[in-house]
Amino acid sequence: MPATVLAGDIRDLRVWRSPDYTRVVIDLGSRVEYSVFVLDNPHRVVIDVNDSRMLADVARVDLVDSPVRSVRSAVRNQRDTRIVLDMDGPVNPSSFTLPPNDEFGDRLVVDLYDLGAESPARPAEIAPSSPAERQTVSSSSQRNIVVAIDAGHGGDDPGAIGFDGRIREKDVALAISRAVFERLRGIPGYEPVMIRQGDYYVRLQQRPQLARQNRADIFLSIHADSFSTSRAEGVTVYALSQTIAEDENIRRVAEKENSADLLGGVSGDTSLKNFEDDLALTLLDLSMAWSIEQSVAAGSYILNAIGSVARLRRDVPQQGNLWVLRSPDIPSLLIETGYLSNPREARLLTSADYQRRLADAIVQGVMNYFYERPPEGTLVAWQKANNQGPDRQYVVQRGDSLSLIAQRHNVNMAQLRAANNLRGDIVQLGQTLTIPGGGPMPVVSAPPTVSEHTISRGETLSGIAERYRVSLSRLREANDLRSDTIRIGQVLQIPAF
């Protein structure tokens, strides 16, 4: 073999296990020609890569928890590389190439789908129950509200990369998603379901399908963002745009014979292929319009709650073209929790305490939305009808009055005053009120903690206090300051509450 580097040099090989398939990723010097086939007795998958040579140490590939027993390679036809995957059982391979991104160069991806075997068991602490198992809550006839939590990216798809080149969106998204799951799991009337439970990739098209299979009432896709500069910051919540929804509906009708898409969400299993095209499109338009309306409403409640713990890049839900939001029967949101390109925000997003507080706020927004618009037949609907259930939080908006808030939340003025230690009826814009229910508030503030801020040129103490939404006196107290004088490079402790 010549000493010069071949364009198709194989630089690395990685294996990722998902619940129903195994992904093999081969890092390459450039795009290549290749072939994939299977052999029996024993079961093997053979990958031939043309005009290439093996630079990776295949003996060191991590195969833990995968059906791949070993990986071998050899030179074929003097210029090609043959990779052999020794398998525990039969698989059905599917392959494609990927262009370079911020972290990886050209890649060959081979997905090995299990044949004649059940998907690996999900971890007990995050495994959703089957629809039949969760039709009732305890001995009552009221069902739980199912929240599907989708941690973005995963496996060989790292998502956005942080300012330091090490922080990965897939890890941040999974940590926040797990925190949301843990919080919801302890609230009566709610049942969280994780779409991705570990570090593996779930296809975009499959994510809303898994939510539908679990009869989800809402779908939350958790992400983190990145930008070309370090100044971008704040949380953004996205719902599907109406224009994309119309295009999606037309596509679904065109493919309805092969479509498993349903109408009616948790209340029905209505296949599109049962209707003529015009009627199917009309039904989809009506269902998608409802889904978008509910998505925007839920997004508003979530942003309202998140605003108490994080900066908002946009204070109203944005609408765009995002695949995971295209369910016609499930309100769906994508939550960009902050910018990994911003050093301050990236450090917050990797902090377990901040992840928990952010998750608490997301859950509070979900609870506020569903208390206002509870699905029929749920425990939350019964609680609202009987003025019971957990206390909730409400942030006073422009034009609100105490009497209007009391009327909107079906509580009397005396209860509202008592719950908030109010001596009169005056409320302030941005004030957080407790809306009394029938039990303790499950989503509570964590004990006061701090984050850090390094002072830059031109900053003032009052400006920093306003930026982090803390009082000037609390900021002085947290840093033992006797005046408002600060210096460039000084690190301030920012009180969380």
Query: Quick one: tokens of 421?
Result: 């230690």
- Listed residue (241, 188, 390, 227) closest to 313, CA to CA: 227
Q: Between 271 and 19, whose confidence is greater? A: 19
Least confident of 213-227, 345-359, 366-380, 449-463: 449-463
Mean pLDDT rounded to a whole number for the chain: 80
Go through 150-164 and write b for each residue having 16 or more CB atoms within 10 A of its CB, e for each that does not.
Answer: bbbbbbbbbbbbbbe
- The reported pTM is 0.63
Angle subtended at Cα 406 by Cα 401 and Cα 407, rounded to the nearest 5 degrees: 100
Can you say whether the dihedral through the CA atoms of 440, 444, 448, 449 is positive or negative? Answer: positive
DSSP calls for 87-149: ESS-EEEEEEEE---SS--SEEEEEEEESSSPPPPPPGGGPPPPGGGGSSSTTSSPBPEEEEE
Q: Between 391 and 45, whose confidence is greater? A: 45
**Element (DSSP H or E) covering residue 452:** strand 450-454
The DSSP 8-state label assigned to residue 195 in this structure reads: S
pLDDT of residue 133: 42
Q: In what order do the strands lie in the sheet with 145-151?
A: 190-194, 145-151, 218-225, 332-339, 236-240, 318-320
Angle subtended at Cα 226 by Cα 221 and Cα 228, rounded to the nearest 5 degrees: 155
Residue 48 banded pLDDT, cuts 50, 70, 90: very high
Q: Give every CB contact of residue 361 below 8 A, 6+ residues apart in sequence.
A: 302, 305, 306, 308, 309, 310
**Element (DSSP H or E) covering residue 170:** helix 169-185
Least confident of 315-324, 359-368, 380-389, 464-473: 464-473
> Does the structure show a pLDDT above 90 at 170?
yes
Least confident of 298-302, 307-311, 437-441: 437-441
> Does the structure show a pLDDT above 50 at 441?
no
pLDDT of residue 145: 94
> Span 177-194, mean pLDDT?
91
Number of C-beta neighbours around residue 333 at 10 A: 28
- Listed residue (171, 44, 28) closest to 100, CA to CA: 28
What gap in Å lies between CA 40 and CA 338, rounded to an integer? Answer: 49
What gap in Å lies between CA 148 and CA 145, rounded to an integer? Answer: 10
Domains of the chain: 10-114 (2.60.40.3500), 141-372 (3.40.630.40), 383-435 (3.10.350.10), 450-495 (3.10.350.10)
What gap in Å lies between CA 9 and CA 148, rounded to an integer? Answer: 41
Tokens 């992400």 belong to which residue?
A: 223
pLDDT of residue 384: 79
Angle subtended at Cα 133 by Cα 132 and Cα 135, rounded to the nearest 5 degrees: 70
Residue 297 banded pLDDT, cuts 50, 70, 90: very high
Using one digit for the tens of pLDDT, what is the confidence trace for 230-285? 999 999 999 887 665 556 555 554 554 445 455 544 444 555 555 555 555 555 55
| Highest mean pLDDT pick, 85-94, 157-166, 168-177, 207-216 | 168-177
pLDDT of residue 390: 67
> Does the structure show a pLDDT above 50 at 35?
yes
pLDDT of residue 300: 93
pLDDT of residue 14: 92
- Listed residue (306, 333, 305, 303) closest to 315, CA to CA: 303
Least confident of 118-132, 194-208, 308-322: 118-132
Percent pLDDT > 90 in the chain is 35
Long-range contacts of 484-489 (CB under 8 A, 24+ apart): 484/460, 485/461, 486/455, 486/459, 486/460, 486/461, 487/455, 488/455, 488/456, 488/457, 489/454, 489/455
What is the maximum alpha-carbon separation in the chain? 88
Using one digit for the tens of pLDDT, what is the confidence trace for 322-364? 778 877 788 999 999 999 999 999 999 999 999 999 999 999 9
Q: Give every CB contact of residue 28 below 8 A, 6+ residues apart in sequence.
A: 8, 9, 10, 11, 49, 52, 105, 106, 107, 108
CA atoms within 13 A on the CB side of 187: 29
> Does the structure show a pLDDT above 70 at 120?
no
Type of residue numbered 279: L
